[in-house]
């Protein structure tokens, strides 16, 4: 998780799609993937399903998982192979942290901004309009943020489903949702580099390096040491038990305290939704600094400038919310449930920005979209995201596994794969 500014956006950024420019920039985007992200090759299959939906006149919503910062670049290349550029719903912070010419480039590539901390009606209407009438597909990451779980998908937010349902009701053409899975693989075994990284991390906190231990055990030892420090900070004493349960207990304790402090009711949603509600309250409090409220009848005027102590408290609350999302992004049983080298790097590189340099990595990815109509499930009135039920149909209710809703059968998976140039060269020499 990267730190981002959280406040009321200074402005909105609308899409200004220029297909000819997207085609012109294709070599530069792919060069950045190869040079900076070490993505050597993309093997994309199943694009005919997207092409068939577009030829049928449908509005297409693509909903990928979001595990890496360069997922959009991968989808831009997929769009080139589909034959039409994609629109992207993008957090406003991406625009705000970019230079003016980078902002223009984002807009020319079909990106438009959304304020994830509020009900952004402008972004909602733009997304619905694209699905209603635009010839290009729309990409929305339904997880709502980047969670570094290469082998898992975190719970979806409601936004993508709400946009799809609204567009399906208003459009004169069908709206098709195509889930897309992106995954990276290390084609060269990264274990030696990861062991070196763990040695640097252990030495950074004045531990004796333990290279003789298995890598997963070293990762968990280090994670437990960091967890103990946060437990002492927030709970006053370390807890006992497995890392996953302790992390959940710590997260709940910190988040409940923040909800009580800012008078935000706990509606029982997923952690990111609860964090969003508290963050919205903190942002509102921070932006009221120095803005006295209009007094009502029989009351005194509102507060004046905020005290330094209050500002520090709000800043600390924002730090705690960032910490909660970090805890959510790194589940405590990830390495144990998938003990292989492709899962380890996402866990062991978590503290690298403050403790050490990142390991050299060579990545690969797979994607598996499937398609279905955006019709609402008959067993539940509320709109949820499309998923595959056991009877092979598309259901909008994640709690329903045997729904009889009439819908389009699931399309066979699409495959994406990246190969290391060195591995490919050796194979060619062998042949």
Residue 44 CA to residue 334 CA, distance in Å, equals 27
| CA separation, residue 64 to residues 142, 189, 222 (Å) | 7, 27, 32
Residue 126 CA to residue 399 CA, distance in Å, equals 30
Predicted pLDDT at 181: 85
Q: What is the mean pLDDT of residues 124-135?
A: 95
Q: What is the mean pLDDT of residues 152-180?
A: 91
Cα 383 → chain centroid: 21
Q: Quick: pLDDT tens for 196-215.
A: 999 999 999 999 999 999 99
Cβ-based neighbour number of residue 323 at 10 Å: 18
Give the three-state DSSP class for 356: coil
Residue 143 CA to residue 154 CA, distance in Å, equals 6
Residue 294 CA to residue 252 CA, distance in Å, equals 37
Q: Quick: pLDDT tens for 286-330.
A: 887 655 544 445 545 555 677 889 889 999 999 999 999 888 887
Residue 179 CA to residue 181 CA, distance in Å, equals 7
In 3D space, the residue among 231, 187, 160, 234 whose CA is nearest the CA of residue 362 turns out to be 187
Burial of 141 (0-12, 13-18, 19+ CB in 10 A): buried
Residue 39: pLDDT band (50, 70, 90) is: confident
Residue 421: pLDDT band (50, 70, 90) is: low
Listed in sequence order, the residues at least 6 apart from 66 whose beta carbon sits closer than 8 Å to its beta carbon are 141, 143, 145, 146, 147
Higher-pLDDT residue of 349 and 187 is 187
**H helices within 174-270, ranges in order?**
191-204, 215-234, 243-261
Beta 87-91 vs 138-139: how paired, if at all? parallel
Residue 178 CA to residue 412 CA, distance in Å, equals 11
Quick one: which H or E segment has residue 63?
Answer: strand 59-64
In 3D space, the residue among 163, 176, 165 whose CA is nearest the CA of residue 123 turns out to be 163
Contact 82, 367 (CB under 8 A): no
Structure tokens at 36: 């900076």
Predicted pLDDT at 231: 94
Task: Compute, in degrees rounded to 10, the torsion defined by CA atoms 376, 377, 382, 387.
Answer: -90
Predicted pLDDT at 44: 82
Statement: residue 130 has pLDDT above 90: yes
Statement: residue 427 has pLDDT above 70: no
This model's pTM is above 0.75 = no
DSSP character string of 77-90: HHHHHHTS--EEEE
Q: Quick: pLDDT tens for 242-281.
A: 888 999 999 999 999 999 999 999 988 889 899 999 999 9
Listed in sequence order, the residues at least 6 apart from 210 whose beta carbon sits closer than 8 Å to its beta carbon are 202, 218, 221
Task: Please report, rounded to a whole number, the percentage of residues in the chain having pLDDT higher than 90.
Answer: 45
Mean pLDDT over all residues of the chain?
Answer: 78
Statement: residue 221 has pLDDT above 80: yes
Higher-pLDDT residue of 59 and 417 is 59
Statement: residue 9 has pLDDT above 80: no
* Sole residue written with tokens 């042949």: 431
Quick one: which H or E segment has residue 345?
Answer: helix 344-348
Cα 371 → chain centroid: 21
DSSP character string of 141-175: -TT-S----TT--PPPPSHHHHHHHHHHHH-SS-E
């Amino acid at each position: 998780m990267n730190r981002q500014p959280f406040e009321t956006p200074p402005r909105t950024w609308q899409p200004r799609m220029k297909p000819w420019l997207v085609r012109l920039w294709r070599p530069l985007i792919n060069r950045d993937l190869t040079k900076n992200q070490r993505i050597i090759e993309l093997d994309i299959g199943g694009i005919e399903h997207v092409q068939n939906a577009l030829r049928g006149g449908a509005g297409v919503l693509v909903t990928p998982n979001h595990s890496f910062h360069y997922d959009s670049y991968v989808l831009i290349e997929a769009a080139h192979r589909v034959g039409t550029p994609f629109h992207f719903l993008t957090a406003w912070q991406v625009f705000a942290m970019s230079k003016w010419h980078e902002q223009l480039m984002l807009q020319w590539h079909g990106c438009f901004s959304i304020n994830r901390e509020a009900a952004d009606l402008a972004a909602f209407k733009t997304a619905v309009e694209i699905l209603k009438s635009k010839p290009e597909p729309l990409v929305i990451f339904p997880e709502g943020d980047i969670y570094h779980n290469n082998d898992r998908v975190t719970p979806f937010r409601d936004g993508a489903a709400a946009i799809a349902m609204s567009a399906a009701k208003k459009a004169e053409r069908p709206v098709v949702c195509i889930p897309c899975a992106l995954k990276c693989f290390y084609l060269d075994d990264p274990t030696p580099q990861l062991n070196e990284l763990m040695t640097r991390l252990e030495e950074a906190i004045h531990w004796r390096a333990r290279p003789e231990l298995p890598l997963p055990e070293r990762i968990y030892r280090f994670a437990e040491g960091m967890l103990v420090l946060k437990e002492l900070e927030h709970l006053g004493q370390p807890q006992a038990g497995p890392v996953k349960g302790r992390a959940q207990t710590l997260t709940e304790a910190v988040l409940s305290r923040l909800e009580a402090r800012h008078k935000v009711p706990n509606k029982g949603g997923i952690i990111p939704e609860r964090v969003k509600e508290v963050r919205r309250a903190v942002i509102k409090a921070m932006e009221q600094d120095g803005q006295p409220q209009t007094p009502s009848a029989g009351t005194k005027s509102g507060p004046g400038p905020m005290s330094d102590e209050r500002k520090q408290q709000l800043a600390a609350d924002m730090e705690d919310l960032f910490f909660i999302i970090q805890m959510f992004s790194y589940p405590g049983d990830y390495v144990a449930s998938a003990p292989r080298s492709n899962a380890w790097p996402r866990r062991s590189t978590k503290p690298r920005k403050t403790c050490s340099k990142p390991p050299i990595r060579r990545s690969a990815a797979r994607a598996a979209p499937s398609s279905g109509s955006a019709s609402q499930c008959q067993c539940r009135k509320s709109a949820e995201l499309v998923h595959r039920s056991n009877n092979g149909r598309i259901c909008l209710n994640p709690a329903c596994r045997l729904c009889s809703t009439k819908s389009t059968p699931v399309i066979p998976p699409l495959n994406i794969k990246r190969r290391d140039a060195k591995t490919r060269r050796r194979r060619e020499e062998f042949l």
